[in-house]
Homo-oligomer: A and B are copies of this chain.
Amino acid sequence: MVQYQVLDRTFSALSDPTRREILNRLAQRPASITELAEPFGMSLTGLKKHVQILEEARLVTTEKIGRTRQCRLGPEHLEGARDWIEVFRRHWEGRLDGLEAFFEQEKGNPR
């Protein structure tokens, strides 16, 4: 159940283009809320809400330094999300491979 909630938050955090872009920018280097808001032409309040959702998903951590809030990537680096997708794809592709092998065998042994 705990793992479920982590994945819920991770995928939900990734479902918005602004939040995905914030992650891409922070993968380059840490940045303040003001620096992050600038290229989006977004209000600081609007951007803070996105950062908060990323924080709840542990994808971002923030720290108050002087008068600015510095953001950097958090402890969650999408391993969980990647692993879920990979397991799903392996099941699905495994099933396709099984079907392909079946048809190949059928071709080799026409009735």
Contact = CB atoms under 8 A, between A and B. Distances in A.
A67 interface: no
A105 interface: no
A61 B103 CA distance: 24
A91 B24 CA distance: 8
B88 A85 contact: no
Which bracket fits the contact residues of A?
A: 20 to 34
B78 A88 contact: yes
A77 interface: yes
Contacts of A23: 88
Contact of A28 (B12, B20, B91): B91
A11 interface: yes
Contact of A27 (B14, B15, B88): B88
A49 interface: no
Q: Which 9 A-B pairs have the closest CB atoms?
A: A12-B15, A11-B15, A11-B14, A27-B92, A27-B91, A4-B17, A82-B85, A11-B11, A78-B85
